[in-house]
Amino acid sequence: MKKIILLVVLITSSSGFAQPNCFVYPEESGERKACELSYKAIEFQQGSKESQMLFDEAIAMGPKFAWAYYQKSVPYFKRGFLYEGLQLLNEAVALEPITYLSYRAYWYWQYRNYALCIQDLEQYYALPKAYMQHTPGGEKDMRILLGLAYAKIGKYAKGIEILKACINDHESEDYVGLADYHSLGVLYVLNKQYEKAIEVLEKQLTVLEDMADTYYYLGLAHKGLSNLKEANIQFNKSLEIFDKQNRFRNTNAGFIVYPSDVKHELGTN
Amino acid sequence: MYLLLLVTWVLLFGHCSTPSRTIQEYQDQIGDTPFDPSRDNPEYTLCDSTNVLHKRAYIQYTGGIKAMEEELFANYEYQPSYSTFSGTFIIRFVVNCRNEAGRYRMQILDEKFQKTTAPKNLVTHILSISKNLNKWNHAVYKGKDHDGYRFITIKMENGQLIKK
């Protein structure tokens, strides 16, 4: 229950992370005006002409008010205008790295530039006042993405180290992300540490039983240990879950599993 | 006279490198892509051009990204002249309510996500294999069929496609 509540809090708060308080800026200052105009802008639909023009006005009034650049950048990223989005978000990052580095890293991840994603997150976590950051959807600690990004460039051991540290922190707070053990298990499989993979993937099943991907990776781990009978049991379970409408889908998984992957393992493809 | 006009135009509108600080012309929504006779097929039509969704997640490819990538890989024909290119193609388009795609637009970025160019025949080939993807499923939003915008990214290293 505690986990669900935390997840709901994360999801509902994530869209407006770091929402500024306009009253902290002196009255009549450029930042105060920019802040007020930006709040006016987000009353309009995201990406609409009205909102974009208000952000432009805000930026002209208070060019040091980072939130306006960030808010203005979002629809560009979501709609495939990566370059335009980055020109705006870069301004926000330059003004307030602690607030926006992690968000830029998220978009680097989304657009599959793992080197730049790692660069931003390493820079972020090296900041003395770095705090816990999540994906915009709230489902993953950004350190999980950092570990997965290392795995994407083939640095599995480094990824494992980061994921373990992240999970350890959360375990001590009695909260682990819904797919965190899964992510660690995937990295163990990729690093051919099959016994460790089975250990954490089975732990994952105590958190969630309806994620098809977990059974697939469990199958791969058993296969890695030449336990083909058990591997096939897991692959079949995975296929069963794929058929369920309400199965859990692992957002920002990094390593996505398709039914065709499982069928391929079962040799029925 | 024309030269004078051109110089004036450049002076007025030529400083577009920092979009946030210049007065911009916007479509009603970021990403709205009106028909452009110079590059769009005039026979490609939308079901309701006044309400094209900007919700990319509602448009899916049959078999998912994996199937889409397999098709791209199968249709990609490497040529040695492509090896100079490393970077990302971002291809935006519309999927209308009849599952037909059109109005393709492209952005080419280097490995640091700066704007760049690619060999002309590579650009043509990438656009062509993107247009060949024909298993798009249109957006169904709040129970209704919609046209919608979608984009794909194609990543390359030394002229070779890179898997997701």
Q: Which residue has the higher pLDDT, B76 or A4?
A: B76
CA A216 to chain CA centroid, Å, is 22
Does residue B26 sit in helix, strand or coil? coil
- Residue A102 and residue A4 share a domain: yes
- Terminal-residue alpha carbon distance, chain B: 53
Whether residue B63 and residue A88 make contact (CB cut-off 8 A), yes or no, is no
Say if A112 is an interface residue toward chain B (CB within 8 Å): yes
In angstroms, the CA B141 to CA A231 distance is 39
Q: With helix as H, strand as E and coil as C, how does A108-155 read? A: HHHCCCHHHHHHHHHHHHCCCCCCCCECCCCCCEHHHHHHHHHHHCCC
Let me know whether A194 and A75 are in one domain.
Answer: no
CB pairs under 8 A between A and B: 96
A144 part of a folded domain: no
The count of domains in chain A is: 2
Query: A148 CB contacts (<8 Å, ≥6 apart)?
Result: A159, A163, A183, A187, A252, A254, A255
User: Is A3 domain-assigned?
Assistant: yes
Q: Which residues of A touch B28 (CB under 8 A)?
A: 48-49
Beta carbons of B20 and A91 less than 8 angstroms apart: yes
Taking alpha carbons only, the member of B98, B105, B92, B89 closest to residue B136 is: B98
Check residue A218 and give its pLDDT.
98
Are A191 and A132 found together in one domain?
Answer: no
Which stretch of DSSP H or E encloses residue A66? helix A66-78
The mean of the pLDDT values for chain B is 89
Shared domain for A48 and A99, answered yes or no, is yes
- For B94-115, write each residue's pLDDT tens digit: 999 999 999 999 999 999 999 9
Specify whether A57 is located in the same domain as A8.
Answer: yes
Distance CA A203, CA A230 (A): 17
The whole-number pLDDT of residue A18 equals: 67
Q: Which among A83, A114, A138 is the end of a domain?
A: A138
Q: What is the CATH number of the domain that holds A99?
A: 1.25.40.10
Cα–Cα distance measured from residue A122 to residue A127, given in angstroms and rounded to the nearest whole number: 9
φ, ψ (nearest 5 deg) of residue B91: -115, 120
ipTM: 0.88
Q: How many CB atoms lie within 10 A of CB A60?
A: 17
Do B133 and B61 contact (CB within 8 A), yes or no? yes
Residues A53 and A94 in one domain: yes
The pLDDT value recorded for residue B22 is 55
Does the CB of A213 have a partner CB in chain B at under 8 Å?
A: no
Q: Residue A112 is nearest to which of B24, B115, B164, comparing CB atoms?
A: B164
Q: Is residue A64 one of the residues assigned to a domain?
A: yes
Picking from A108, A138, A168, the residue at the C-terminal end of a domain is: A138
Nearest to A234 by CA among A191, A265, A200, A193: A265
Name every residue in B having a CB less than 8 A away from some CB of A: 18-21, 23-24, 26-31, 54, 56, 63-67, 88, 90-92, 107, 109, 111-115, 149, 151, 153, 155, 162, 164
Structure confidence at residue B8 as a pLDDT band (50, 70, 90):
very low
Q: What is the rounded (10 degree) CA torsion for A80, A105, B113, A87?
A: 70
Closest Cα of chain B to A173: distance in Å? 33
Strands (E), chain A: none
Residues with Cβ < 8 Å from A219, sequence gap 6 or more?
Answer: A231, A232, A233, A234, A235, A238, A262, A265
Looking at the fold, whether A195 and A94 belong to one and the same domain comes out as: no
Q: A257-269 burial by CB neighbour count: b if 16+ within 10 A, else e?
A: bbbebbeebeeee
A82 and A178 assigned to the same domain = no
Q: Is B18 helix (H, G, I), strand (E, B) or coil?
A: coil
A34 or B14: which leads in pLDDT = A34
- Please report whether residue A143 resides in a domain: no
Nearest beta carbon to residue A88 from set B20, B114, B155: B20
Do A121 and A183 fall within a single domain? Answer: no
Residue B1 has pLDDT above 70, yes or no: no
Residue A258 lies in a domain: yes
Give dist(CA A154, CA A149) in Å, integer: 9
Average pLDDT over residues B109-134: 97
Q: Which of A106, A138, A170 marks a domain boundary? A: A138
Residues A35, A159 share a domain: no
The span from the CA of B85 to the CA of B69, in Å, is: 19
Tens-binned pLDDT, residue by residue, of chain A (269 aa) = 344 434 444 444 444 456 899 999 999 999 999 999 999 999 999 999 999 999 999 999 999 999 999 999 999 999 999 999 999 999 999 999 999 999 999 999 999 999 999 999 999 999 999 999 999 999 999 999 999 999 999 999 999 999 999 999 988 877 889 999 999 999 999 999 999 999 999 999 999 999 999 999 999 999 999 999 999 999 999 999 999 999 999 999 999 999 999 999 999 65
Closest residue in chain A to residue B70, using alpha carbons only: A260
- pLDDT of B145 reads 97
**If you measure CA to CA, which chain A residue comes closest to B29?**
A48
Least confident of A201-210, B3-12, B111-120: B3-12
The verdict on residue A148 lying in a domain is no
Phi first, then psi: give them for residue B160, nearest 5 degrees.
-110, 140
Q: Are residues A13 and A94 in the same domain?
A: yes
Residue range B50-71: mean pLDDT, rounded: 95
Start-end of H helices in B26-162: 64-75, 120-131
- Among A78, A111, A258, the residue with its CB nearest the CB of B56 is A78
- Contacts of residues A81-90 at CB distance under 8 Å and 24 or more positions apart, as own/partner, are A81/B30, A81/B31, A81/B92, A81/B107, A82/A107, A82/A111, A82/B88, A82/B90, A82/B107, A82/B109, A82/B113, A83/B107, A83/B109, A83/B113, A83/B114, A83/B115, A84/B19, A86/B113, A87/B18, A87/B19, A87/B20, A88/B19, A88/B20
Q: How far apart are CA B79 and CA B30, in angstroms?
A: 35
State the pLDDT at residue A175: 81
Residue B150 dihedral angles phi and psi, to the nearest 5°: -150, 160
Domain hosting residue A202, numbered range: 154-269
Same domain for A111 and A176, yes or no, is no
